[in-house]
Amino acid sequence: MLLAPEILEAFENARFVHLVRDPLTTCLRRTHMTARFDNGIGRVAIRAAYHYCGRDLERSLFDSPELRMAYTTIHQVEAVREFARLHLRDRYLEVRFEDILNRPATTLGEVSRWLGVEPARGRRLETEADPARAARPLTDGRYPPDTIEELAQVLAPLRRALGYLQPEPPSGVDARVPEGHNYSAPLI
């Protein structure tokens, strides 16, 4: 996701399929290299994510791996979506992982129509997809409820934007974006 501008520059007529997954589920799996300090990409990506989210970089040293994952996920997904809005328009398709698992034939048909091709024949996606897989990280007991709740709060605006949460109620509820959130920041 960090290289979308470079990919478009190299392949100016490219079409982009962005496979998204519920960010809460994503952050409650293993951390991605972009959320760890043990590699150069992670050190750069964490710095960029904390800046993007308006969070003090020093906090990254003390935040849990899951919380660092949440901030890097917010940064990367929102930056790609903004890049697509500004530069890709109809050459960008967002596909939800959960839709592939729960509605494989329908999702395959939607992607095929967008690409202008016939759906692949042969192995059936319905027999390959495991719908239970999508929910497993939240239900396996690896994370205490307070960790899940903290991540759910941090990720709520992104989850709402991706359709994983209902829209904010019209009034009486504080629906502000987290302080310092910058929706127009570059990828890195």
DSSP readout, 19-67? Answer: EE--HHHHHTSSPPGGG-SSSHHHHHHHHHHHHHTT--GGGGGTS-HHH
DSSP letter for each residue of 54-122: T--GGGGGTS-HHHHHHHHHHHHHHHHHHHIIIIIGGGEEEEEHHHHHHSHHHHHHHHHHHHTSPPPPS
Residue identified by tokens 């929910």 is 135
Residue 168, pLDDT score: 74
Q: Is residue 153 part of a domain?
A: yes
Q: Is residue 64 part of a domain?
A: yes
Residue 182, pLDDT score: 44
Q: Is residue 150 part of a domain?
A: yes
Provide the number of structural domains found in the chain: 1
Q: Is residue 91 part of a domain?
A: yes
Cα dihedral 38, 154, 49, 186, rounded to 10, equals 150
Write out the residue range of the structural domain in which residue 41 sits.
4-97+145-161
Q: Is residue 76 part of a domain?
A: yes
Residue 116, pLDDT score: 93
Look up residue 116 and give its amino acid: G
Q: Is residue 176 part of a domain?
A: no
pLDDT along the chain (188 residues), means of 10: 94 95 92 95 97 97 96 98 95 94 90 91 67 63 89 97 85 52 44
Residue 6, pLDDT score: 96
Q: Is residue 19 part of a domain?
A: yes
CA distances (Å), origin 16, targets 3, 11, 152: 12, 11, 28
From CA 71, how far away is CA 55, in angstroms rounded?
A: 9
Q: Is residue 169 part of a domain?
A: no
Residue 181, pLDDT score: 45
Residue 29, pLDDT score: 87
Residue 75, pLDDT score: 98
